[in-house]
Structure 1
Amino acid sequence: MTSHDALPRTARAAVSHGRGRLSGRLVLVNLSIPAAPVALFLAGLLVTGGETNLQVLITLGSLLLACLVVCGISLARWLTTRYRLTAERFELRSGLFLRSRRTIPINRIRAVDLTANPVHRIFGLTTLRIDADGQGAPAGRGLRLDGLTKADAAELRSLIIERRDRDHARNAVDGDGLVSELDRSWIRYAPLTVWGVGSVLAGAGSVYRTLHEMKIDPLELGVVKDLVNRFGSVPLWYGVLLATLAVAALGVACSTATFIESWSGYELRRTEGGVLRIRRGLLATRSVTIEEDRLRGVELIEPIPLRWAKGAKLNAVAGGLGDREENRRRRALTPPIPRDEVLRVAAEVLPASASPEERNLLTRDGLAPHPRAALRRRINRALTAAIAIAAVPIGLGLWLDPALVTIGWITGLALAAALTALAYDAYRTLGHAVRGRYLAIACGAFAHRTVVLRREGIIGWNITRSPFQRRAGLLTLGATVSAGDGVYKVRDVSVARGLALAEAAVPGMLAPFVERDPAAGR
């Protein structure tokens, strides 16, 4: 056991009856906040060739004032924040005018994570976050200590976990071993995400809006004028092609840069006490812990570009990861990597007691198919979407130019073929099965999703039937769990099979709500 004499000064204070406090280096971090508007002003002078106007000065002055206010609030938080770790609870006090005191019982703590943004890393600081459930858990985003040194944060986390695990009646399997770590060859999967192009377009929109607010016309900038002079006389189709290629190239670059920043140093490790720990990040480091007894399953995701390259990524379906938005940021177990590697990691993440059949559920082999009525529904939706899109140019052509009618027909036929193929692929993905202690659900069109849930983690069923589903004799069965997305749906399954699946997964849960037909004898 760790000796108190061997602990850093602030960690010893947290353990004793005294109170720990944030690092003094946080003052330097706070003083760097006003540097942002100054750097923005200098960048603006560089772009505009040294010209400025009153609107720019007012905008940057307002931003500087806001940064000074934030700096003052942060300094007050540094002066007033005190924390203490006792045998029964973790206490946090903060606030100058509005004082706050929060307490979390040790046995309610579910996760202790460390993160560090680029500025914190420069000064050797990190943020410790404590997540809890039940009574005593703070509302909102959880309890955070923003501004501990790396040594103090690591030591404090180990002490919290040690005391929590000492008090818990745990059945988790102990172990300490590396499950997966970064392979540089995985970077080839980085461009195969759609977020790169989206981030380029979003960034361009933000820059344009900022310049517009500062009364700067982007078309009057020297760089833009040079591009117009060089390509202004080219045909429209050539300009559109060049713009598309440029956006795609920037999107690939952004996706690759995001992958490198997010997943550098990636390591998935099973630590002592049955805890999965994910560490990753180049500029902003992240460390997420997931207790195996809070793990309700795993989810395999295969978006279209990754699927073409035989890649995938793996998410945890686990409790204790915050609200839905925070859960989406923290649930990733792997980056986009080869599908075979994902299946290997998933097999190791599942409890050691899982059988080979249970571990192979993510491969979708042997999943029960859904009725043909589900295929007809998807094809009908695909054709409806194609007709709705094609109707726009056809309608304009009947009113303005007959050439648009031809374009509309070509567009409609192409979309009908592409969306019908996508609908058939989505139908082939549908499947479900109950094997041992697990329920497997597969669905998805643009991204195939296969989730494997522990049956004992299912706390309810959510059954929905649209008018079209009732005509086709189908229903959607949602498995409710206190983790992940909350509800995982078996879409467009027949009524008899859906009810049988619910009974097989959790016997007796639906029995009080099912009306039997005496005439049919069931």
Structure 2
Amino acid sequence: MSKGTRLHPAAIFFNFIKVLRESIFALVLGFITFKGDSFFYFILVASILLLMLLVYSALSWYRYTYRIEDEELRIEYGIFIRKKRFISKNRIQSIDLTAGIIHRIFKLTKVQIETAGTGTGAEASLKAVKTAEGERLRTELKAAKIPTVNSIEEAPKTDHPSAKITFKCLFIAGSTSGGIGVIFALLAFVFSEVEQFIPERFYDNTIEWVVGLSILFLIGLIIIFLILGWVLGIAGTVIKYGNFTITKNYDELFITRGLLEKKQLTIPLKRVQAVGIQESIIRQPLGYVTVFAEVAGGSMDKGEDFSTVLFPIMKKDEVVDFLEKFLPTHAAGAKDITPLPKRARKFYLLRSVLPMLIIAGGIVYFLPQFSWVPIVLVAGSLYLGFLRHNAGGYQLDGDRLMIRYRVLNKITMIMYHKRIQAFEKSQHMVHRSQKLASMQISIIGKFGVGKHYKLRELEEKDVDYLSDWYSYRS
């Protein structure tokens, strides 16, 4: 492939939309600010600027070419100043394909290429190529890392394990996602921003009308909002994780997901720093968990969360088989976990209940008619503290460490000694008198940012033992 290839002409539209999105605030401000005769001139200037942006997008597309030559991806771009970027195949860590709604209409895909040095943005991003071309690029750029025919014949197992989420699991994931809380928080934020524009008389009349309603009507209204939030949570989960499929191909994992925007993520196994199992408060009684991985590097262009979901939801007793199939090194054995000492429980209860006592005092002072609320808050916080203490513990098996803790959801992290970047022991005066200590373990996470896991109030001798294990002290 010696001749440079241009992106699909749809890239002009994507470039234009990107620049327009960055300028949307100024355009909206202009529509609000300018009135009368000045509004006509604003429209004229805005139209000229939009035309210039469209021309700029077209020229950027025309001057952007790529080709594969001498084991490198070579990209040339720039309208007035020509820039060249050479990316060696050996430096490429992952190649992700993403197809939004417009991409899928025209059978296009976006190719994002990441290397070990990738930061906030991808090393290279081909915004619009034909889907077949994107697949061909990924195959050709990763060809050097696929085992040869001889090595495949010698391997004891050559199949590529795969798992796909069922609609039943997808529905359960949406129903128990807790997205309703996010929706209500978003609505509360929007209301707080819009409230200043609401006339005071209208606001007061609305409050009086709501207060005058019957209790049954208010309960019915709340139930309707809860059902609406529940439905929206299911819809959001189905859209995000629809057709979720994970496939292992030699030393990489391929994840495909999304109904409206189809994403194909590539995860090199050597970049997996830790594997996590999350049990939310809602899903734990039902026996369902989420399996995720902490992957080093990556870029914000992926649009992913700070942890990469390996499977959105599965039964807890299926996790070991899942890990044996896709990440056998992280499949934790049946060895018992070392729990937190019983004398540590008071620390967990105190930390959990103290903030609620302050909130409860404020409610009793300012809203005495709701004096029953503090009782519920304090009881709930005490129960949460009890759960946090019961969940805590660790398991050490050779070079593999598993720690378990709870903030709101119960998290189990499985990692190897060579992936741990730092180990910290901390103690205060009360800890020393009780022969307790806390530890913090750090690994590399997304975007090169550190991920920290803290386990509080362990036996002091256990923390010292783990510290010696990390430091290779006998």
Provide TM-score, normalisation by structure 1.
Answer: 0.74
Deviation string, structure 1 residues 200-244 (Cα, Å, up to 9, x no partner): 5425754885x789x898999xxx9xxx7xx86852644543443
Task: Tell me, yes or no, if structure 1 residue 476 matches structure 2 residue 438.
Answer: yes
243-252 or 156-165, larger mean C-alpha shift: 243-252
1:348 Cα deviation after fit: 1.8
> For residues 141-220 of structure 1, what are the structure 2 equivalents within 5 Å?
141-165=122-146, 175-186=158-169, 187-202=171-186, 205-206=189-190
Match of 1:504 among 464, 469, 473: 469
RMSD: 4.0
| Superposition map of 1:147-296 within 5 A | 147-165=128-146, 175-186=158-169, 187-202=171-186, 205-206=189-190, 235=213, 237-238=215-216, 240-271=218-249, 273-296=250-273
Aligned with residue 345 of structure 2, among 375, 381, 392: 375
Structure 2 CA distance for aligned equivalents of residues 77 and 173 of structure 1: 50
- State the 1:450 CA deviation: 0.1
Structure 1: which amino acid aligns with 2:460? V
Deviation at 1:144, TM superposition (A): 1.2
Shift of 1:430: 0.4
SS in 2 for 1:328: coil
Q: Which moved more, 1:324-333 or 1:157-166?
A: 324-333
- The answer as to 2:377 corresponding to 1:415 is yes
CA contact (8 A) 2:120 2:301 kept: no
- The Cα offsets for residues 439-481 of structure 1, whole Å up to 9 and x where unpaired, read as 1010013100001112222233233445664564433322232
CA distance in 1, matches of 2:159, 2:199: 59
User: Does residue 310 of the first structure (1) align with residue 287 of the second (2)?
Assistant: yes
CA deviation map 1:397-450 (0-9, x unaligned): 6xxxxxx1x633x33332222111111111111010111331101001310000
Please give the residue correspondences for 1:79-90 in structure 2 after superposition, counting only pairs within 5 Å: 79-90=62-73
Number of matched pairs: 450
Residue 347 (structure 1) aligns with: 324
State the 1:317 CA deviation.
2.5
Is the counterpart of residue 129 in structure 1 residue 112 in structure 2?
yes
- In the alignment, the residues of structure 1 paired with residue 46 and residue 223 of structure 2 have an alpha-carbon distance, to the nearest angstrom, of 36
Which amino acid is the alignment partner of residue 255 of structure 1?
Answer: G
1:107 Cα offset (Å): 1.5
> What do residues 164-210 of structure 1 show as CA deviations (whole Å, max 9, x unaligned)?
4579xx9999744233102111112312122233235425754885x
Q: Does 1:331 align with 2:305?
A: no
In 2, Cα distance between the equivalents of 1:166 and 1:303? 40
Deviations 1:107-129 (A, max 9, x none): 22111111111122122221111
Contact 1:197–1:247 under 8 Å retained in 2:
no
How many Å separate the matches in 1 of 2:200 and 2:2?
60
Distance 1:393 1:70, change over 3 A: farther
| Residue 98 of structure 1, CA deviation | 5.7
Tell me, what secondary structure is at the counterpart of 1:335? strand
The 1:87–1:438 alpha-carbon spacing in structure 2 relative to 1, beyond 3 Å, is farther
2:453, 2:307 → 1: CA distance?
Answer: 18
Distance 1:163 1:464, change over 3 A: same
| 1:313 CA displacement | 0.5
Matched residue, 1:103: 86
2:438, 2:130 → 1: CA distance? 50
Deviations 1:357-412 (A, max 9, x none): x6245x8x611011234311111122312310111123336xxxxxx1x633x333
Paired with 1:79 and 1:108, the residues of 2 have a C-alpha distance of 27
Query: How has the CA–CA distance of structure 1 residues 179 and 471 changed in structure 2, closer, same or farther, with 3 Å as cutoff?
Result: farther
Residues 66, 74 of structure 2: 8 Å contact kept? yes
Distance in structure 2 (CA, Å) of the matches to 1:491 and 1:65 = 61
- The whole-number CA distance in structure 2 between the counterparts of 1:276 and 1:81 is 31
Would the alpha carbon gap of residues 205 and 396 (structure 1) be closer, same or farther in structure 2, given more than 3 Å must change?
A: closer
Q: Is the 8 A contact 1:200 1:250 kept in 2?
A: no
Secondary structure at 1:265 match in 2: coil
2:354 to 384, 388, 395: 384
Judge conservation of contact 1:439–1:505 (CA < 8 Å) in 2: no
| Cα distance, 1:207–1:426 mapped onto 2, change above 3 Å | closer
How has the CA–CA distance of structure 1 residues 164 and 97 changed in structure 2, closer, same or farther, with 3 Å as cutoff?
Answer: farther
C-alpha deviation, 1:65, in angstroms: 8.3
- Alignment check: 8 A CA contact 1:198 1:251 kept: no
TM-superposed deviation, 1:278: 0.6
- Give TM-score, length-normalised by structure 2: 0.81
Give, in whole Å, the separation in 1 of the partners of 2:17 and 2:292: 36
Q: Distance in 1 between matches of 2:201 and 2:319?
A: 47
- Residues of 2 paired with 1:174 and 1:218: CA distance? 72
